Structure 1
Amino acid sequence: MCGIFCLLSLSSAQSEQHKFTADLLKRRGPTCCQEITANGRNVPYTCLFSAHVLHMRGPLTPQPVVDGDGNILLWNGEVFGGLPVVPEQNDCAVVSEHLSSCSEPSQVLAVLSAVRGPWAFVYYQKAADYLWFGRDFFGRRSLLWTFDAEVKALSLTSVATRSSGSECHNWQEVPASGVYRIDLKTVRECRPVSFEIYPWANDAFHPSETVGEACVPSGCSAQMNLSGLSLPSPVCPLNTSTPTPLDEEDVLTLSLDELLVNKHKLEMVNGLLDVLSEAVRVRVQSLPLLNQSNPSLTENQAAVAILFSGGIDSMILAALADHHIPAHQPIDLLNVAFKLQEPKKLSETSKKVKKPKDRATDPQRVCADPFNVPDRITGRNGVKELQGLAPGRRWNFVEINITQEELQKMRQERVCHLVHPLDTVLDDSIGCAVWFASRGVGCITEDHNQTPFISSAKVILTGIGADEQLAGYSRHRVRFQASGHQGLIQELSMELSRISSRNMGRDDRVIADHGKEARFPYLDEEVVNYLNSLPVWEKADLTQPRGVGEKLLLRLAARKLGLGQSALLPKRAMQFGSRIAKMENHHEKASDKCTRLLTG
């Protein structure tokens, strides 16, 4: 993974953008960094390429990568399939090699569309004077852009500082609607920078009309490429079939175990577990912390962590990770809690009760513990289930406790820049919660004693994508009740169409700030393909009660894996489960602009 930056300058004036982003980029890639400049031969432009690398796979490959013909690649991604990458290879070097053989736009598109995994890239084709850039289909890696009209410079970066006053720049996320190309032979200081768009083909998730003038930086223009080329979509269309109406008497409430007896259901569950297990496998293996590149890693330190609430999404990731990580290696379960308001006053009777040693089971201590938020309770229960499934594994349940003072301090120092350019109350809540959780600084409890703990994991698995595909949110049930299966299908289609702009770039920026890499098994292309192929009522049955009907197929998979009560937990959003939403202004709406994210 990397922090990448490219500055295209069309005048001799100096842009300050690189100076503003350098510290944030360095945090993303602490392993190594370097810069390269390319100048137009007969065209007045200069391109500065800079990369900060977090070494994750294969031999260390500093970036930018320059091939024998002078082509330059900035690659922030992981190849989990599509292009052959063996453990002894670095995927950036492999992508560079494939792109080096491309002379036509169709060949570049073929390489990019073949990659299975997250990516954001910038690629300079020297001989043709082309600059390519873009993000993967789901936008799983961040890429921002802005144009400085005063110095005639276009900036592309993984992350940018939120600023105010004269230093304020209108950063936007590069839409994940395709890839973009600038013909540098046509750029002139007196003209707007023009992008050619190469969209994803036959793509209902990213309609081409969403890439309009409002999505490109001020001072630039965009148009569809005149050749009509596109990238083949990596996922199949969503199954839009609807069931035949059932008589009321046919709607039965069945337990998960009763449903698993059904052969048809069991086949679908096995199909989901096959693709999801493979998605987890490729994301937890071939890591530098699991080989000789980091000999300082001890037997008690983990290479992989999971954002962990004890809910079904994170429980399944943990159970599957256990299948693919050697049993002697620990797995960190990162559980964040924001301090509840102090209880007004404990009764005199309560004060006299002697506290037993076990703080987790003492009802009086649990009541008085200001960090005993819902996700902490389900997290503790979840780790007990995992210990029952894999008693030989060391599960580091990391309790990450955050006070209001620390939240306010780190929001202003760091998180406000990482969430930017997103700016809603929801972005603030989720961004802060994920930042503190992925930092992994907390404590673990052993033999009734708490000891400080810092997670060593450089890979963090998150459950994002499960709710969006399997109707896990309460709004899905509301839409189903109002518009039936047809309305639910439309809602789920919209979920994937906006996940790149609502979630993915933000979460990548927030997690990567710790020099760690976010990986999203539920958004693996084969997982999405499998779920898209199924009728909606097989994935979720919203005629069933909460805790059963939503994400039904995933709940059945959890039972098949041997999970217990966690398979029946209703959805609880992170901002509520961690109680960050209750810490400050209780009367805000999630879509409101968040004034707390503003810098001075």
Structure 2
Amino acid sequence: MCGIALVLSGGCVVVAPSTAAADAAAGIHPGDEGKGVTVDELKEALRRRGPDSLGCERLRVHADGTILGIGGCNFGNGDGGDVGDRELCFIGATLQLRGAEPVPQPMVARSGSILVYNGEIYGGVHVADDQNDTQSFLLSLESCCSCDCHALVRDEACPCCGSVGKSVPEILSTIKGPWALIYWQRDSKTIWFGRDAFGRRSLLVHWPTPDDSRFILSSVSPPSFASNNTASTVKGVESGVDNDFSESTKMNYWEELPCGMYSIQLKGLEKNGMCLKEACIFKVRRHDWVDSSLDKLIRWKRKSIVPTVDDLTVHKNPVGDYHLSQNFKNPTEAENNTAYRVLIALRESVMLRTKANRLFQDDLDKLKDDELAPIAILFSGGLDSMILAALLDQCLDSKWTIDLLNVSFDGQLAPDRISALAGLKELQRISPIRRWRLVEIDTALNNLKGESEHVMSLIHPSNTYMDLNIGIALWLAAGGDGWVDGSICSMQDGSRYKYKSTSRVLLVGSGADEQCAGYGRHRTKYRLGGWVALDEDMRLDVQRIWKRNMGRDDRCISDHGKEARFPFLDENVIKTLLEIPLWEIAKLDEPVGKGDKKILREVASLLGLKEAALQPKRAIQFGSRIARESNRKNFGSNRAANQASAGSVEIHRRALH
């Protein structure tokens, strides 16, 4: 996990892809930067995400494309120089998780290109076990063609220079794994930026406004600029239409950057920009994904949606009737078993994200104590986290402890605490040789004042009570600061002791409910509109998960200098689930705890998790009981909160005090 940022200032105005340049620039002047976020504020916010190193690189580009200089944070004075000059400031804060040696960011190539990257690569670009993702990725990007026609006109093979090098969009389209990046391609004078197709890594954007004419990208908002009272009218920014830019909207200082690949070319004004009122106007270009297999995942099309009578009368994979140890008659029978196929895909996903030889070796060398854990799980004891725990046990050497991080706002009475204690016993039963450590993180909402303010800045631009409740629960759980009952975890001579998890990699179950019909509203959709309505609702959930969940969750978890990894959102897992008929994924005419997420219940049964296979779905805000406490505090009671649809009510900062 890293924190990345770019500040583009000087004699230019950057507008979003759907904007008419002249209209968007009206009222915006390059010198209007007095009310904007400072570089120092960005550094402080990013440092929490990347505590191992913090770097900065500045360069200045003249209107004719000439590079006037390159240097660290003290290079230049930020005034943009001559009219038409643009200054680019790249910031990178690094959490070192991969490779044999520390690799600080920003990375500057021999060519003068600059990369700040936040992500992991599990395919598409080769990364050796002892290499760092950013290093390997920069080498691939440096091999890309940089001809003007290649960058501006097309994403296929370059017709001008005959280069066999791929384009930047081609490279980005092949990456498997979560990512967000900002890349300055020096030869083409182009800024490339974006985030993966499912938005698993946060990237916020500030579009130029009359108050602040700069174009800014950042992994997270500094606290002073996460207010929901800073709305301005700006054309061409994304608003109510998911996955696209709308023409005009009221916006905050920061917006979630929609998933995708974008570029801004800082030369060839006669082709790509125009001069207006002594400013160069640049329109951001959005690029299509080049890889056809990725495009299929984004469109999220399932072949088999509506079952026939015969499909529903053939009962395949009944929950609880078999175990992983059962012998299939032949390999074909195993491959045809849908739950087994999902299990194999999930196990490979967990393996890719937790292989010890792909973790930063200096960190592993520090784990001398038998009870220290390199990997932790955000753990409710529910179906998704139990599956991840059982699979991690299979993928991680038995010498390591696994931390199970569980948060409660009602002590031992919260549903998630009760299920976590039951889940711990079941994990100890199926894997008695493993040391399982349940970390009980207890607090009361009334004790969280400064913390609530801080989390409010992390979830921004999300700003509802539901977002805040989820954000606080995730932030506390990721912090890993709680108590361990040695008597049930077989640790510390059975005593209860204070403990703070040092795990830097956290497995999270995000994406399971969206893909497997785990929400209550999925049952409602099915009841009212049948299989087609259910499929459409699930597709909408997956396609907007970047905006509703992933950016917010990434910012809250990574604030502790830890990295969230999402095995259910692995590209191959998504592909595998889409290949399975919808009626094998869920059967919502069956009771809660059986028909919802049917396929995952069968996976749990294969893993020997008989009790977990029957667990009902509970969202973290309800399972931890923070929603109940929030309703009482802010609305007087649960009933009043329900009448006010509290979850979707926007928060005004004064309400936090």
TM class, shorter-length: 0.7 to 0.9
Equivalent in 292, 310, 314 of residue 385 of structure 2: 314
- Residue 122 of structure 2 aligns to a residue whose secondary structure is coil
Q: Does 2:604 correspond to 1:558? A: yes
Residue matched to 1:198:
287
Equivalent in 465, 490, 498 of residue 544 of structure 2: 498
Query: How many angstroms does 1:559 deviate by?
Result: 0.6
Residue matched to 1:179:
261
Equivalent in 456, 478, 482 of residue 416 of structure 1: 456
1:539 to 1:519, Cα distance in 2 relative to 1, 3 A: same
2:364 touches 2:374 (CA, 8 Å); kept in 1?
no
Distance 2:476 2:316 in 1: 40
State the TM-score, normalized to the length of structure 2. Answer: 0.78
Query: How many angstroms does 1:595 deviate by?
Result: 3.1
2:322 touches 2:606 (CA, 8 Å); kept in 1?
no
Residue matched to 2:171:
111
Q: Deviations over 1:227-279 (max 9, x none)?
A: xxxx8556674214333443999598995134889968961111111110000
Equivalent in 265, 270, 273 of residue 340 of structure 2: 270
Residue matched to 2:3:
3
Residue matched to 1:345:
none
Query: How many angstroms does 1:502 deviate by?
Result: 0.4
Residue matched to 2:18:
none
Superposed, 1:347-386 pairs within 5 Å as: 370-386=411-427
Residue matched to 1:242:
305
Equivalent in 341, 352, 358 of residue 282 of structure 1: 352
Equivalent in 556, 567, 575 of residue 521 of structure 1: 567
1:52 to 1:432, Cα distance in 2 relative to 1, 3 A: same
Distance 1:294 1:247 in 2: 53
Distance 1:293 1:572 in 2: 34
**What amino acid maps onto 1:93 in structure 2?**
Q
Distance 2:470 2:342 in 1: 28
Give the aligned CA root-mean-square deviation in angstroms.
2.7
Residue matched to 2:133:
91
Residue matched to 2:43:
22
2:452 touches 2:656 (CA, 8 Å); kept in 1?
no
Q: Does 2:409 correspond to 1:330? A: no
1:56 touches 1:287 (CA, 8 Å); kept in 2?
no
Residue matched to 1:37:
58
- Percent identity among equivalent residues? 38
**What amino acid maps onto 1:425 in structure 2?**
Y
Distance 1:463 1:388 in 2: 22
Superposed, 1:427-576 pairs within 5 Å as: 427-447=467-487, 449-576=495-622
Residue matched to 1:67:
109
1:26 to 1:243, Cα distance in 2 relative to 1, 3 A: same
- Where does structure 1 lack aligned partners over 5 or more consecutive residues? 205-230, 340-369
1:596 to 1:500, Cα distance in 2 relative to 1, 3 A: same
Q: Deviations over 1:137-191 (max 9, x none)?
A: 0000000011254453111000012435998862001001x21111212365635
Distance 1:253 1:47 in 2: 58
Q: Deviations over 1:461-503 (max 9, x none)?
A: 0001011000011111111111111111101111111000000
1:547 touches 1:569 (CA, 8 Å); kept in 2?
yes
Residue matched to 2:626:
580
Distance 2:281 2:415 in 1: 52
Query: How many angstroms does 1:404 deviate by?
Result: 2.1
- Residue 584 of structure 1 aligns to a residue whose secondary structure is helix
- Residue 549 of structure 1 aligns to a residue whose secondary structure is coil
Residue matched to 1:591:
648
1:235 touches 1:525 (CA, 8 Å); kept in 2?
no
Distance 2:360 2:189 in 1: 41
**What amino acid maps onto 2:187 in structure 1?**
A
Question: Greater CA deviation, 286-295 or 433-442?
Answer: 286-295
**What amino acid maps onto 1:183 in structure 2?**
Q
Query: How many angstroms does 1:21 deviate by?
Result: 2.3
1:307 touches 1:461 (CA, 8 Å); kept in 2?
yes
**What amino acid maps onto 1:110 in structure 2?**
E
**What amino acid maps onto 2:479 in structure 1?**
R
1:232 to 1:424, Cα distance in 2 relative to 1, 3 A: same
1:328 to 1:294, Cα distance in 2 relative to 1, 3 A: closer
- Residue 583 of structure 1 aligns to a residue whose secondary structure is helix
Distance 1:73 1:597 in 2: 40
Q: Deviations over 1:326-372 (max 9, x none)?
A: 10100000000013xxxxxxxxxxxxxxxxxxxxxxxxxxxxxx442
Distance 2:534 2:546 in 1: 20
Query: How many angstroms does 1:294 deviate by?
Result: 4.8
Distance 1:294 1:322 in 2: 17
Q: Does 2:320 correspond to 1:257? A: yes
Residue matched to 1:170:
253
1:287 to 1:513, Cα distance in 2 relative to 1, 3 A: farther
Distance 1:441 1:429 in 2: 18
1:35 to 1:598, Cα distance in 2 relative to 1, 3 A: farther
Residue matched to 1:50:
91
1:196 to 1:411, Cα distance in 2 relative to 1, 3 A: same
Q: Does 2:193 correspond to 1:133? A: yes
Q: Deviations over 1:426-454 (max 9, x none)?
A: 11111111000000000000135320010
Residue matched to 2:77:
none
- Residue 118 of structure 2 aligns to a residue whose secondary structure is strand
Residue matched to 1:154:
215
Distance 2:356 2:434 in 1: 20
Distance 1:196 1:288 in 2: 35
1:512 to 1:522, Cα distance in 2 relative to 1, 3 A: same
Distance 1:127 1:114 in 2: 23
**What amino acid maps onto 1:278 in structure 2?**
E
Distance 1:532 1:372 in 2: 38
1:451 to 1:473, Cα distance in 2 relative to 1, 3 A: same
1:251 touches 1:543 (CA, 8 Å); kept in 2?
no
Residue matched to 2:635:
none
Question: Greater CA deviation, 272-281 or 167-176?
Answer: 167-176
**What amino acid maps onto 1:155 in structure 2?**
I
Size of the alignment, in residue pairs? Answer: 542
Q: Deviations over 1:189-247 (max 9, x none)?
A: 6354411111336999xxxxxxxxxxxxxxxxxxxxxxxxxx85566742143334439
Question: Greater CA deviation, 573-582 or 35-44?
Answer: 35-44
